[in-house]
Amino acid sequence: MTATILARSARAASGLSQSELAQRSGIAGSSLSLIEHGKREPTVATLELLLRATRHTVVTIPTVRSDAAHIASDISIALAGASEASAFRRFLQLADNLTAESGATRVGLTLTEPSPTGSEQWDTAIAALCEYRLNANSLPVPDWVGTRTGNPNARWAPRTSDYDIPADPAQVPIEFLSRGILIEAATLESI
């Protein structure tokens, strides 16, 4: 995860504005903005100061796979470029990343609350995926996952091609269906 994503996600999760974080951390608002937009790489000391001000800390986990926060950032970029198919490919990468890891490492890939992607449906789908993969091994689910409840009465399925076949709700995991996200379990399996 980059310092940009880490700083932005920690601030968003804490509910602080940039100016509030600048005041709490003692780091100039202009510097914070440059860090959050990837235009300045903070020192480790600066990043730790920012994180401490948001009541977060850095934890390392033994993997090179991208976590939920990083993938959410990639999905946000894809959506800004109007590429729903690219967003879906990144989502499937998160599914694969979570499947490839086990135990504490799998949990670690879900710990940092992702910043909003710009789409409530994608934000909800990310939460559903994290819960689904963690529940598969009876692992603890981070609190942020439960805050993204979606809308079960307004069902949504990502558009991945011109030939999308409607999802069969009987094949959709409960973690998705209860949030109104229609993605079948088979879609989440690597080929």
Closest to 24 measured CA to CA, from 8, 11, 34: 11
Q: What whole-number distance in Å separates Cα of residue 33 and Cα of residue 15?
A: 16
As given in the structure block, the two tokens for residue 53 are 């001000």
Sorted by where each begins, the domain ranges of the chain are 3-53, 68-188
Q: Where are the alpha helices (DSSP H) in the chain?
A: 3-14, 18-25, 29-36, 44-53, 68-80, 84-100, 103-108, 120-135, 143-146, 174-177
Cβ atoms of residues 53 and 25 within 8 Å: yes
**Tens of pLDDT along 70-100?**
999 999 999 999 889 999 999 999 999 999 9
* Arithmetic mean of pLDDT over the chain: 93
Band (pLDDT 50/70/90 cuts) for residue 191 is low
Instruction: Tell me the fold of 3-53.
Output: 434 Repressor (Amino-terminal Domain) (1.10.260)
- Beta bridge partners, 156, equal 181
**Tens of pLDDT along 156-165?**
999 877 677 8
**Tens of pLDDT along 125-174?**
999 999 999 999 999 999 999 999 999 999 999 987 767 788 999 999 99
